[in-house]
Amino acid sequence: MANSRQESGFQIRRIWSDERARSALFQILVVLGLALLVAFFVANTMANLQARGMEPGFGFLQDPAFFEINQNLIEYASTSTFGRALVVGLLNTLLVSAAGIISATVIGFLAGVFRLSNNWLVGRLIGVYVEFTRNVPVLLQIIFWWSILTGLPKVADSLSIGNSLFLNNRGVRMPAPILENGFGWVALAFLLGVFASYLVGRWARRRHMATGQPFPMLWVGLGLVVLPPLLLFVALGQPLDWDIPEKTRFNFRGGFNITPELVALWWALTTYTGAFISEIVRAGILSVSKGQSEAAHALGLRPGLTMRKIIIPQALRVIIPPLTSQYLNLTKNSSLAIAIGYQDLVSIGNTVLNQSGQAIEVVGIWMVVYLSLSLGTSAFMNWYNSHIALVER
């Protein structure tokens, strides 16, 4: 700038009227304010922790937990560490969330499609289901289903199927597979079969597109996936045994057990989220213009095929983004497990917090884990969404 010193007063005003300079100044102020606020909280925290003789840090994760967990997907005993207990909790969260997401999607799609069916009664009944579950707190529903499940027959009067699967108010006890030497080969054959059928499927689809010749993909694929492992299984002398549950004095022993807490939580989350998903699916289907289905009918496609090949693919574009946030909600709602004693990340974290007194650390772990789960799910669903998006021509 040519004009300088004597006009310095002018320059301040010019900075003020320059949008870039103004926004830079504003942002500096924001950062300063935020830094002050953080410093305020950190200083308070330090002072308070010192006053209470509490030592921050994650060293406690190495200390033995001394409490038991009733559902552990990995090895765990009461002498394991707090850190391992939290990992067990995380896996339990992932288990119920994954199972819930799958079943809620199935229920949601079915309910969404059938609510639009021309059967008046079915449409109404699904409407009642959707409105009732959506408008009652999910916490109440979890507790409700748990009360129902604990009303199942007692251990002594267990319902059983073939004397190897038992249902009672302590859960479903079923035989657990025991893998013997050589089962690894069978598993390998299975994986190879899946891969091979994927390759064949790609080739078949390309040929179908190019020449219009159909290919019996279902049967070929099934054969590839099932036959080789089955042959190998027989050839290796059936390297698999079952651990069949046996009745002992109090409980069943052996096999594995699905607790009523898991079932109640999973089912409540499924029906609750399923109701929301059904509304999303319904809106998605309604968003596809009527001309599409009429055109499909005109081409002679049957209603089921029209739904599968014409309506749903187009509706998915509308459905996927809100579906993602329902998946995230389900994962977050799984933290209500604490109300019925399903030992998920929050429930075990609460115990760890109680026994160790390390509140900041435990809450920090919760937040980081749930944030990562959220961001991970969002990233995956965004990828899937861009994958299925219509290629605009």
Among 355, 381, 384, 385, binds other proteins (CB under 8 A): 355
379 binds other proteins (CB under 8 A): no
Question: 292: which 2 tokens?
Answer: 């599409």
Question: Shortest CA distance to 323 belongs to which of 94, 132, 104, 139?
Answer: 104
Helix, coil or strand: residue 246: strand
* Amino acid identity for residue 235 in this structure: A
160 binds other proteins (CB under 8 A): no
**Alpha carbon separation from 258 to 71, 138, 327, 379 (Å, rounded):** 9, 21, 23, 31
Among 10, 45, 159, 242, binds other proteins (CB under 8 A): 45
Which residues from 109-138 bind other proteins, rule CB under 8 A? 114, 117-122, 125, 131-132, 134-138
Task: Pick between residue 186 and residue 362 the one whose CB is nearest to other proteins.
Answer: 362
Which residues from 182-221 bind other proteins, rule CB under 8 A? none
147 binds other proteins (CB under 8 A): yes
Task: State in angstroms the smallest separation of the CB of 386 from other proteins.
Answer: 20
Among 7, 10, 27, 202, binds other proteins (CB under 8 A): 27
Among 39, 194, 357, 382, binds other proteins (CB under 8 A): 357
Which residues from 333-352 bind other proteins, rule CB under 8 A? 333, 335-336, 338-341, 343, 346-347, 350-351
26 binds other proteins (CB under 8 A): yes
Task: State in angstroms the smallest separation of the CB of 344 from other proteins.
Answer: 10
Answer for the pair 258, 172: CB distance below 8 angstroms, yes or no.
yes
- Interface with other proteins (CB under 8 A), residue total 84
How far is Cα 75 from Cα 53, in angstroms, rounded to an integer? 34
How far is Cα 82 from Cα 356, in angstroms, rounded to an integer? 9
**Backbone φ, ψ for residue 306 (5° rounding):** -60, -45
Task: State in angstroms the smallest separation of the CB of 29 from other proteins.
Answer: 6
Which residues from 65-94 bind other proteins, rule CB under 8 A? 66-70, 78-79
**Alpha carbon separation from 150 to 92, 146, 335 (Å, rounded):** 20, 6, 21
332 binds other proteins (CB under 8 A): yes
Question: 243: which 2 tokens?
Answer: 């651990």
* Amino acid identity for residue 98 in this structure: A
